Chains A and B, each alone.
Chain A
Amino acid sequence: MNHSHYDVIIVGGGHAGTEAALAAARIGCRTLLLTQNIETLGQMSCNPAIGGIGKSHLVKEIDALGGAMAVAADQAGIHFRTLNSRKGPAVRATRAQADRALYRIAIRQIIEAQDNLHLFQQSVEDLLIENGRVRGVVTGLGLTFHAPAVVLTVGTFLGGLIHVGMARHEGGRAGDAPSNRLAQRLREMPFTVGRLKTGTPPRIDGRTIDFDGLEAQPGDDPAPVMSFLSDGSEHPRQVPCFITHTNERTHDIIRAGLDRSPLYTGEIDGVGPRYCPSIEDKVVRFAERTGHQIFIEPEGLTTREVYPNGISTSLPYDVQTELVHSIGGFEQAHITRPGYAIEYDYFEPRDLKSSLQTRHVDGLYFAGQINGTTGYEEAAAQGLIAGINAARQVRGEAPWCPDRSEAYIGVLIDDLITLGTREPYRMFTSRAEYRLVLRQDNADRRLTARGRDMGLVNEARWAAFSRKAEQIEQLRLEMTTRCIQPGNPEIEACLGQPMAREYTLHELVKRPGVDVGTLLAIGGLDAPDEVREQVEIDAKYAGYIARQQQDIDRIKSQHGTVIPEGTDYGQVRGLSNEVRQKLEEVQPSTVGQASRISGVTPAAVSLLLVHLKKSRASGTLKTA
């Protein structure tokens, strides 16, 4: 065996890189994961939490496709909550505070247990490219590794510039070295490069915080789980979070320090996320607010360090100290690491195909923060897709990416490659037009069978999934055949009115106020919680889901038409210059994707359809 030849090479060992490597290896490709530092595999470089609104949806989809993130979060989570538990199931989400060390260990164990996957600690300095095709990579020691597919997941390491007050230095995240040679090399290629910014709060020694008088926020009991394979027994000891607030004095201190803020003196060019502003941003933009929440998140069970979520800042260190000390409970706080802002390069994601392969270099894939996203979950989701497609390309199989109606992963990638992004992109449920279908509770029903077909899902997961699917179908059948007669006191109490006729259990479960548990008890039926839940949600949402399904079918049939690569939009009769330019920029792969580009009108879509039909019939273009 040639030790420098692989099927797939993954560059970077963050959340994108590890999922990419695991996916390619699960499919059966000989895979090499190159990282600057094996000790930091699975490192959470920002806040120590996995999941949350929109994000746990991604985590469970990754899990449904056999990924690692949910399993690791269950082994490392020290505080779990279900968010939006009193709202509907479509917007419910799970969040875990994770012990950083336990999370790293869990990810490392999963990687080391994976067949076909080799680890190697080396920085990557260059890419081997021949005739527009990637051939491999060159490392810092000058070692060459060959592969027909390479996935770059280099995060914020590209052109990283760290700001603390007016002081700045080059660097990657959390003290790691920046990859400037690779950044330079990539800048020479025809990719469009942009600049983004993100930041972190100062970390604090928990022993110096006065927790008396702070509001405690315990996790849920019983703690929910992330993975469809977990039952909660994986969870380590659970600990609470705490909440405190900034006050007017904090805000005065921040205002007085703005003349030394890189954000407000023009030092920082990169665009930061609107939904994750620094504390100085919040104080300036929402001057009328007299306080802002801070979530005090434990960093782990074996460290006293805490992460004060809500005061991300790039103010000078002396201002950071003063502002921290002005906050209730932090009067004596000792800062262990200063907060900072980091600017970094990202590559215009509209240069990517839905497989996450770059348009300019065949076999080269980009995943994670390099594509302008933020968040571990968003990175992991892209890593999974890039890893799958790198493997599929090597095996001569067609690329795969879930549709917007199948998964949040599909929404994420379609948004990126169609609309691009001007700020670090984060998932929200409001981005998904099929929100009622794309729930965290049914990610397995949406994706596991597909994952099984692609070789991503192992026997144990498949068996568990099949059993659950069977139980759901069985319960649904039983509930549609069992009836309850009018006059049943328990049911009428739930309904708040007498029953006019006999109803099946399935009809009753659709009614507001009727609980599936009560119905099963009356009908003498039993089923595990996750099975009841699916039957209940399916029934309660039925009307809405049917309507969304109609939308999905309509759009698929109208917009599924493939646009062949290399389509010359100058030949499409009647298109305005503006629309033509946009189409050339994005190079959509289907008419549906074209229709989602802003400014592309229904008339333009019609013109495109007519043109494609004509081209196909006259054979001027090969059909894709």
Chain B
Amino acid sequence: MNPAGDTIVAVATPVGRGGIGVVRISGPLAESIAVAVAGSLPTPRYAVYCAFRDADGAAIDVGLALYFPAPHSFTGEDVLELQGHGGPVVMNLLVERVLGLGARPARPGEFSERAFLNDKIDLSQAEAIADLIDSASSEAARNAVRSLEGAFSEAVHDLTEGVIQIRIYVEAAMDFPEEEIDFLGDERVGRELDSLRERFKRVIAGATQGALLREGVNIVFAGRPNAGKSSLMNRVTGRDTSIVTAIPGTTRDIVNEHIHIDGIPVRLVDTAGLRDSTDPIEREGVRRAENEIARADLIVIVVALTGHVDKPIGSGLHEAQDIRRSLPDDSRCLLVLNKADLVSQPFAGLPPGACVVSALTGEGIDHLKDRIKTEIGFQSGQEGTFSARSRHVKALQDAERHLEQGFSRYREDHSGELLAEDLRYCQQSLGEITGVFTSDDLLGRIFSSFCIGK
């Protein structure tokens, strides 16, 4: 299976969990990637301690390299595993290095898929593999949408439109040479190529610096007014960002804090308490809170305990259930019972998995942080917004490479068909972000731009 197949790469360990991160590579290039990154090909199935080097020879990380030649590997193909110390930033550099050596990012569930197709996984697991591909790809789709929000999306669509515009001219000139629209000869194509190259450079620079690291995991605190969300947020961040009062509905707007938990960039979001309100400002706050909840990677549902020993959870449980029901089915939630300081005795009947904390005294906060880590770590294998964005950046870089190659061929000998070829590849790379643009779509754009036909 897959003899001339391509080589895939992904981080195989949960993001940020534990001290070790594993980058897994599967496919025919595994061997050459091993030589390039680890310096030499490790003896099959022996761990070799070495530096992982970037293209200039500088060490990205130091760790263990393991090589499993086909067919005796997890996927049944040549597999290389690089075990580093990395937090997500280092892991990401390592993945980028491997991508630069010709691999492509693995699709969700693709290692398991290959293992199955190569008879490495029992047939009885076919259903499980199908479910994994299904759930992981819808998760990836959601994350891709998040990655594509705002200015980045506009910039990418602008680039795509730029590529289409040039392709319209180049392809029309070749397919309709008798239509008095031969743009290859004039300077227009050259000028538009120049301007597009500039725009590519700007967008890629913006997307790789900062943006990649500024993204990260979104954690939203949600709950009814006066559940103590703001106090809890201040406790977790160790800062005094949110205004805390005893008055329900104090928080009206979205409050952001960026922290790192074990090297994972995390954006904590405090929101207005969810309730029906007649106050237009508070209503707007609730609307914004709902927006944040919609794009959250993890929703921390905060509910207040009561002072009653017999019914410590009281109406809180219903509150939590109501909030949970109002959220999308597939959103990941963590239930936090706040105000533990009001309850003096240990209590029974807690929902499983709930965290009991006191924002006032700090009780249970470390446990909460651990739980948050576990919950975000759980996303491993399935890609988060973070890796979705890096996939998008990779697509942009590929697109730019094709554009540059096409440009130099065009400058060299004005050969339209080679420029066209590179522009097609360029658009194909962008299509991984913006969706497929078929040859018929292109013809449609040509026919609506020019009067063609005898």
Q: Which A residues contact B (CB, under 8 angstroms)?
A: 47, 53-54, 83-84, 87-88, 90-91, 273-277, 282, 285-286, 289, 292-295, 309-310, 312, 419, 428-431, 433, 435-436, 512-513, 544, 550, 553-554, 556-558, 572-574, 598, 601-603, 606-607, 609-611, 613-614, 617-618
Contacts and interface: CB of A to CB of B under 8 A. Distances in A.
Nearest to A90: B417
Nearest to A574: B134
Interface stretch (B86-94, B151-159, B344-352, B441-449): B441-449
Contact of B447 (A83, A84, A274, A598): A274
Contact of A602 (B107, B180, B451): B107
A606 B110 contact: yes
A231 B123 CA distance: 61
Contacts of A429: 174-175
A557 B126 CA distance: 21
A280 B402 CA distance: 41
A274 B415 CA distance: 27
B185 to A, nearest CB: 8
A613 B126 contact: yes
B338 to A, nearest CB: 39
B392 interface: no
A610 B174 contact: no
B207 to A, nearest CB: 23
B381 to A, nearest CB: 15
Contacts of B291: none
Contacts of B58: none
Contact of B5 (A53, A428, A554, A610): A554
A529 B130 CA distance: 56
Nearest to A201: B454
Interface stretch (B39-47, B67-75, B294-302, B432-440): B432-440
Given A88-B418, A603-B108, A274 B454 contact: no
Contact of A607 (B4, B5, B130, B444): B130
Given A53-B174, A83-B178, A574-B133, A606 B109 contact: yes
A282 B451 contact: yes
A309 B179 CA distance: 13
A580 to B, nearest CB: 13
Nearest to A283: B451
A610 B180 contact: no
B113 interface: yes
A153 B420 CA distance: 36
Contacts of B180: 293
Interface of B: 2-6, 107-110, 113, 116-117, 123, 126-127, 129-131, 133-134, 137, 171, 173-180, 184, 412-413, 415-418, 420-421, 424, 436, 438-440, 442-444, 447, 451-454
B440 A419 contact: yes
A440 to B, nearest CB: 13
B133 A436 contact: no
Given A557-B3, A610-B129, A277 B175 contact: no
Contacts of A603: 107-108, 133-134, 137
A574 B453 contact: no
Contacts of B436: 598
Main secondary structure of the interface of B (DSSP, over half): helix
Contacts of B171: 430
Of residues B116, B184, B421, B452, which shows the largest number of chain A Cβ atoms within 10 Å of its Cβ?
B421
A294 B137 CA distance: 53
Nearest to B124: A614
B32 to A, nearest CB: 15
A53 B417 contact: no
A202 to B, nearest CB: 14
Given A54-B175, A275-B453, A428-B443, 13 more contacts: A53-B174, A53-B175, A90-B417, A274-B447, A274-B452, A309-B454, A430-B420, A558-B5, A573-B130, A573-B131, A610-B117, A610-B126, A613-B117
Of residues B413, B447, B454, which shows the largest number of chain A Cβ atoms within 10 Å of its Cβ?
B454
B347 to A, nearest CB: 42
**Pairs A-B, 5 closest by C-beta atoms:** A574-B134, A603-B137, A88-B417, A573-B130, A286-B451
A557 B5 contact: yes
Of residues B175, B421, B452, which shows the largest number of chain A Cβ atoms within 10 Å of its Cβ?
B175
Contacts of B6: 554
A399 B162 CA distance: 43
Contact of A557 (B4, B177, B179, B440): B4
A550 B102 CA distance: 13
Contacts of A618: 123
Contacts of A435: 417, 420-421
Given A574-B134, A613-B126, A430 B417 contact: no
Contacts of B178: 83, 293, 295
A87 B184 contact: yes
B130 A87 contact: no
Given A274-B444, A601-B137, A606-B113, A614 B126 contact: yes
